[in-house]
Amino acid sequence: MKFKALLLLGCIAILSLGCKEHGQEKEKSAKRPPNILFIAVDDLNTMLGSFDGPARTPNIDRLAAMGVSFTDAHCQAPLCGPSRASVMTGLRPSTTGIYGMIPDDKIRSENPATKDIIMLPEYFKQHGYHTMGIGKLFHIHSPEDMFDDSGGRVKGFGPLPKERFVWDGFGTSDRKKYGKTSTDWGAFPENDSLMPDHKSVNWAMERLNRKQDKPFFMGVGFLRVHVPLYVPQKWFDLYPLDSIKTMPYRPDDLDDVPVVAKMINDLPMMPSTDWAIESGEWPKIIQAYLACISFVDYEIGRLLDTLEKSEYADNTIIVLWSDHGYRLGEKSTFAKHALWNVATKVPLIFAAPQLPKGKKIDRPAELLSVYPTLLELADLPAYDRNEGKSLVPTMLGNDEKPSFAITTFGMNNHTIKSERYRYIRYEDGKEELYDHKNDPNEHTNLAGQQQYNQEIDRLKSLLPKGNAIWDQNSSYTFQPYFVEQKARVNGLSKETRKPTEADK
């Protein structure tokens, strides 16, 4: 009996010690800083299901239900390179002069505004995080040493068929000078497994299943929805052509915009809306774009599934964003490259343990806020060089001040989105104003009508006070206007070079 009693007491002691150690481990885990899952999607506009769009996006919708969606968020530049440079540096294009494409390793090289800047993943690395990244995060991937564990980025936007299906840049009068777009659309390849984005998610999933000894920052950058609009046939099958609705379009829509706006919108390598109507390709382009969105949504679902099954599920902050919007026939073409709403508006979603679930905020927000918002959510010190504001107070319902978003495209060309209006001011002082309450498609330019002068003055006061000259390593040779503007404002001879890898 004594032996049995001693044995029982011993078992109780062992169980008690085990419970105590488990409790300590649980407490230790609870105090561990949160992980960051940073999801960037290329060229994604707001056609998502959770944003009341036509795309079938059950997984992004699931993420939206987990957190807070900003349904009126805007990029700082409607072009991949300068937009991503702004997100990662936390600085406006008007501060850095990065108005066009720029090689990742040149962001800090000779620019007085960025030469000593701490970039977003780097800030987490300096605060004890293990940084990981794969795919398109910066324009190509990242500067050197930004990630402790890097999967790199597949070059280009393949895989590609032997010959293009539809668009080969025809209509372009000077392809040698301005290059040739990757734009094309059709079902290719046969399987998801052949897509670089699928392989990127495999890489990320494998690391989410590893034991991580430190809090981690993981960036996953998707190449789609960037052109060419190629994904396997099954994604096209979700959108029968007879179900496709084309965008609101008026052939005379550009009649009331300034000449400089038409110069910026001069995109000789892109399909025009008139061509798409005449050729019957307009519904097919939209079908392909939606198919690409659903493919990316599926891959994001694989990522979320793995996270939710991992030990990091309850202690990971997620942000999903796109570098800019995309026009699908609005304002005469199929492209980003403009200061109008469809080109600047992006999805922006945050999910974190301390945030509300399933909340939508229909107030202007900026991608510039991603950096400071992640720092506050992770309880890290604010970085005083950030020009954006944290969105945490807004998400928690503690900031009801009027909000606005500024987008810049080239030196001294800005647009301001307020809660009702969009105001655009170009380098020559010409203006556009649109009332989104009555004209959400921006068909009627109200600038010049006296009754709106007070509103224009109010919005004009929010314009950036300084406008840096073009960074010498930044350019965009696909649009004649920007070649000429950079040469003019920097006092250079007119550029005639061929596009570089940064342009592509």
DSSP string computed for 374-442: HHHHTTPPPPTT--S--SHHHHTT---S---EEEE-STT-EEEE-SSEEEEE-TTS-EEEEETTT-TT-
- Beta pairing class for 345-351 and 68-74: antiparallel
Nearest to 149 by CA among 120, 121, 107, 117: 121
Instruction: Give me the helices (H) in 90-191, please.
Output: 93-96, 120-126, 175-178
The three-state DSSP-derived secondary structure of 259-285 is HHHHHHCCCCCCCEHHHHHHHCCHHHH
Contact 180, 269 (CB under 8 A): yes
DSSP 245: -
How would you class 10 by CB atoms within 10 Å of its CB: exposed for 0-12, middle for 13-18, buried for 19 or more? exposed
The Cα–Cα gap between 262 and 434 comes to: 17
The Cα–Cα gap between 195 and 93 comes to: 32
219 beta partners: 38, 133
Asked, as a colleague might, if the bond just before 189 is cis with ω within 30 of 0, I would say yes
C-alpha count within 13 angstroms, C-beta hemisphere, residue 285: 27
The Cα–Cα gap between 422 and 456 comes to: 10
Contact 107, 81 (CB under 8 A): no
* Amino acid in the structure at residue 59: N
- Beta pairing class for 216-222 and 35-41: parallel
Contact 129, 215 (CB under 8 A): yes
Contact 441, 330 (CB under 8 A): yes
**What tokens appear for 155 in the block?**
């070059």
Catalytic residue positions, numbered: 80, 139
The Cα–Cα gap between 14 and 209 comes to: 30
Contact 230, 187 (CB under 8 A): yes
Tell me the helices (H) and strands (E) count for the chain, helix number first.
16, 14
DSSP string computed for 412-431: T-EEEE-SSEEEEE-TTS-E
